């Protein structure tokens, strides 16, 4: 997560496989629980069992690991003075049927196991010591027909931000290449003010080229009202842009911040490439006007003996090996991938066919697709 306000929240969790009563309460004794660091996949640690004479079973779909269970995670953390601030927990994923408690009170839930989400926990926390407890239920519905793993198997972050802040995923970039070989960089910033007072602030934008040279800046003063949503837009224009492709994955960088009463603003960053893509009947795929063959593989989200736990270093190694074999394209299967995986593909030069879902209203998430 390229956000200076985000604190990586992966260390020193307690984990228990089971479903004890009152495990969300602050006075619950977790002294005998296992200490774990995230990312953590509990299924990959279960016994390997081929099942009944090799007959196809739900267990077989999960790589012959025992998958059906409930798990709890607990972590204590301390906050400094938080008056005038909002506090968020960001989850890369929580597999699955997650219910999150802060200091013994329910703060939110999220059923689908592969999508990232963020919870506002401002009203649940206090200065000093706090407790987060998360219950995950991997037995409430049938498993996926591939190895899913279970647990908090992607990164978790804690964000403490001013009441005027970027909404989750509130910074967007869209690139339009014009016929005169200029690139129009369309920036959208979605902000939120949760304070009971309005005021004014300044949005700062800075654009850097792939060599990390700052090439454009922009400041926009804006007004905001009580408990409001604000959308700000700006377009940068780049003449003769450096184009991204698999052989030369050049990335520009956008940095954005909101001025906060003279304090040092926290920056959000987005890395993006500039390129044209065409699919021409009977001719094929064209990147930046060049006919290009996709030489790809299909990848699930797990990584060998690491299970579903996403470690950036392991995935970078895997992708570099594929790159060395001549691979330039990846079709993901069959669920949303880690955001860090997609960032690596941008950085290393892979065309991605992002399947996201292969079914909408059947199998393990049909009942929650419309509501979650």
CATH of the domain at 187: 2.60.40.10
pLDDT of res. 367: 67
How many Cα atoms occupy the beta-carbon half-sphere of 275 within 13 Å? 22
Do 214 and 342 reside in the same domain of the chain? no
pLDDT recorded at residue 62:
83
Distance of CA 23 to the CA centre of its chain: 27
Residues 6+ apart with CB under 8 A from 296: 327, 328, 329, 330, 331, 351, 353
| Pair (108, 157) in one structural domain | yes
Return per-residue pLDDT of the chain as tens, 372 residues. 889 999 999 999 999 999 999 999 999 999 999 999 999 999 999 988 776 655 667 777 788 888 889 999 999 999 998 999 999 999 999 999 999 999 999 999 999 999 999 999 999 999 999 999 999 999 877 788 889 999 999 999 999 999 999 999 999 999 999 989 999 999 999 999 999 999 999 999 999 999 999 999 999 999 999 999 999 999 999 999 999 999 999 999 999 999 976 667 889 999 999 999 999 999 999 999 999 999 999 999 999 999 999 999 999 999 999 999 999 999 999 999 999 999 999 999 999 999 887 776 666 566 677 766
Residues 304, 339, single domain; the answer is yes
- Determine contact, residues 357/335, Cβ cutoff 8 Å: yes
Q: 14 and 144: one domain? A: yes
Q: How confident is the model at residue 54, as a pLDDT? A: 57
Are both 331 and 207 inside the same structural domain? Answer: no
Single out the residue in 116, 132, 162 at which a domain terminates: 162
Beta-bridge mates of residue 108: 100
pLDDT for residue 55: 60
Q: Is residue 83 part of a domain?
A: yes
Q: What is the pLDDT of residue 139?
A: 86
Nearest CA-CA partner of 160 in 256, 89, 228: 89
For residues 220 and 151, membership in a common domain is answered with no
Clarify whether residues 98 and 25 are in a common domain. yes
Evaluate whether residue 367 is within a structural domain. no
Instruction: Indicate whether 16 and 157 sit together in one domain.
Output: yes
304 and 156 inside one domain: no
Question: Quick check: is 365 in a domain?
Answer: no
| Residue 37 belongs to domain with CATH number | 2.60.120.260
- Token look-up 């995230």 returns 38
Cα–Cα dist 108/91, whole Å:
12
Residue 369 lies in a domain: no
Query: Is 364 inside any structural domain?
Result: no
Identify whether 238 is part of a domain.
yes
The pLDDT score that the predictor gives to residue 52 is 61
In this structure, the answer to whether residues 139 and 16 fall within a common structural domain is yes
| 332 within a domain of the structure (yes/no) | yes
Domain boundary among 140, 162, 184: 162
What is the pTM (predicted TM-score) of this model?
Answer: 0.94
CATH number at residue 342: 3.40.50
Same domain assignment for residues 152 and 261: no
pLDDT in the model for residue 49:
72
Check whether residue 74 and residue 199 sit in a common domain: no
pLDDT at 59: 74
Question: For the chain, what is the domain count?
Answer: 3
Cβ-proximal residues to 372 (8 Å cutoff; 6+ apart), any chain: 110, 111, 112, 115, 365
Structural domain range at position 48? 6-162
Q: Is residue 288 part of a domain?
A: yes
**Domain C-terminal end among 275, 302, 322:** 275
């Amino acid at each position: 997560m390229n956000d200076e306000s985000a604190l990586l929240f992966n260390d020193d969790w307690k984990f228990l496989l089971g479903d004890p009563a009152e495990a969300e309460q602050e006075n619950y004794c977790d002294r005998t629980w296992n200490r774990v660091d995230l990312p953590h996949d509990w299924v990959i640690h279960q016994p390997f069992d081929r099942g009944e004479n090799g007959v196809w079973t739900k267990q077989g779909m999960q790589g012959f690991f025992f998958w059906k269970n409930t798990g709890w995670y607990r972590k204590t953390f301390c906050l400094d003075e938080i008056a005038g601030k909002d506090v968020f927990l960001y989850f890369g994923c929580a597999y699955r049927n997650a219910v999150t408690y802060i200091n013994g009170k329910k703060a939110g839930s999220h059923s689908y196991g592969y999508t990232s989400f963020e919870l506002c926990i401002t009203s649940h926390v206090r200065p000093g010591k706090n407790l987060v407890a998360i219950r995950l239920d991997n037995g409430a519905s049938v498993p996926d027909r591939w190895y899913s793993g279970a647990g908090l198997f992607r990164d978790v972050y804690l964000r403490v931000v001013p009441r005027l802040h970027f909404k989750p995923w509130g910074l967007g970039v869209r690139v339009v290449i014009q016929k005169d070989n200029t690139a129009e960089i369309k920036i959208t910033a979605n902000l939120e003010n949760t304070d009971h007072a309005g005021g004014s602030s300044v949005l700062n934008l800075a654009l850097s080229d792939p060599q990390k040279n700052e090439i454009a800046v922009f400041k926009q003063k804006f007004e905001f009202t009580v408990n409001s949503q604000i959308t700000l837009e700006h377009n940068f224009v780049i003449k003769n842009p450096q184009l991204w492709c698999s052989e030369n994955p050049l990335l520009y960088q956008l940095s954005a911040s909101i001025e906060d009463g003279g304090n040092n603003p926290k920056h959000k960053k987005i890395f993006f490439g500039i390129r044209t893509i065409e699919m021409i009947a009977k001719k094929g795929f064209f990147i930046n006007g060049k006919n290009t063959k996709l030489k790809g593989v299909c990848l699930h989200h797990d990584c060998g003996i690491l299970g579903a736990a996403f470690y950036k270093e392991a995935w970078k190694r895997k992708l570099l090996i594929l790159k060395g074999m001549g691979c330039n394209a990846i079709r993901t299967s069959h669920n949303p991938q880690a955001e860090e995986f997609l960032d690596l593909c941008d950085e290393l030069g892979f065309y991605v066919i992002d399947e996201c879902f292969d079914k909408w209203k059947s199998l393990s998430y049909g009942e929650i697709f419309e509501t979650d």
